[in-house]
Amino acid sequence: MNAPSRSLRIELRQWRQFVALAEELHFGRAAARLHMTQPPLTQAIAGLEAALGVRLFERTQRSVQITPAGAALLPEVRDLLSRAQALPELARAAAAGELGRLRLAFVSTVGFELLPRWVRAFREQWPQVALELIEATGDVQLDLLARGEVDAGFVLHSPGFTTPGLAHALIATEPLVVALPESHPLAAEERPALKRLLAEPLVIFPRRILPSLFDAIFALYNAAGRVPQVAQEAIQMQTIVNLVSAGLGMAWVPQSVRQFQRPGVVYRSVAWPRGRAVPACETSLVWRADAVSPALAHFIGFAREQDVVPPRSTAARVAAPRGG
């Protein structure tokens, strides 16, 4: 046969005609099945063969036989037609947020317990939405959101803090606790006094990572007339806890970090002065309000339905005020 055209334009209609003839092996029956007459079908098959530069059928006056090339092509064409038939439903499902991809960034504290539970529950509701999880600090998440490289992120911050330009939903409120080296004298106390803790070397994250929480922690020291003795900075909470276990100092961490059990480290609630509220931190889901895909809208709704945000009064009662 002649060489195929350089710019192939083969319509799905032609592939359906090919499959019908391959299955019927009779032009008359195939034409009837396609609700057309035989001459146009004969012309269509000849045109398809000319476009491909390959003979798909051997014809005689009494029979039609598919060629090896046609037989090799047949399962692929059937698959093509099946996928093409599914496209409208896929488009409707994508528009409704029932399938697609959702890129979620998260800070390490969310990964201890909340995120695994949420991922499992969300996938049960929306099994065709692929979740891509990216661990990143708060400052990195803001850059990723600005560049459109993630759809939403879980960030840690001080109570009430919001990021300008981003929508948010409060996910959880939890008190701050201290991580101490197991060998430290204060580790033997069930609830060490704030005054004594403020005199200890501090392991903390850089301010650029969590500026609002960094400032809130430093405010504790300023209110007591103390200047923090920063012994070491680290980005990840796990690294901070590891440095505490090495004896470099103590650290203020969200209560959820207690689930990260590291030999050589103990976690303690603090004995706060009477009338002093327990400092807390919050976790929020943040996203760009101008870039909400249908799948993200489902996740935002899912997040808001979760009963994980304790009342602030509960957070304040975690460690009852006490002298010290």
Task: Give the tens place of pLDDT for each residue, 97-133.
Answer: 665 889 999 998 888 888 889 999 999 988 888 899 9
Count Cα neighbours of 215 within 13 Å in the Cβ-side half-sphere.
7
Q: What pLDDT is recorded for position 273?
A: 80
Question: Mean pLDDT over residues 271-291, rounded?
Answer: 87
Indicate the CATH number of 101-316 among 3.40.50.300, 3.40.190.290, 3.30.70.330, 3.40.50.1100.
3.40.190.290
pTM above 0.95, yes or no: no
What residues does each domain of the chain span? Answer: 12-94, 101-316
Residue 243 pLDDT class (50, 70, 90 cuts):
very high
State how far the Cα of 38 lies from the Cα of 27, in Å rounded to an integer.
6
Asked whether the beta carbons of 67 and 55 are under 8 A apart, the reply is yes
pLDDT tens, 265-275?
999 999 888 76
Smallest CA-to-CA distance from 141 within 128, 150, 129 is with: 150
CB neighbour list of residue 182: distance below 8 Å, 6 or more residues apart: 245, 263, 264, 265, 266
Q: Report residue 271 CA to chain centroid gap.
A: 38
Q: Mean pLDDT score of the chain, rounded to an integer?
A: 87
| Secondary structure (3-state) at 89 | helix
Smallest CA-to-CA distance from 286 within 169, 177, 202 is with: 169
Top-tier CATH class for 12-94: mainly alpha
Continuous H helices in 153-259: 194-197, 211-223, 237-245
Residue 309: pLDDT above 60? no
**Do the domains 101-316 and 12-94 match in fold?**
no
Residue 5 pLDDT class (50, 70, 90 cuts):
low
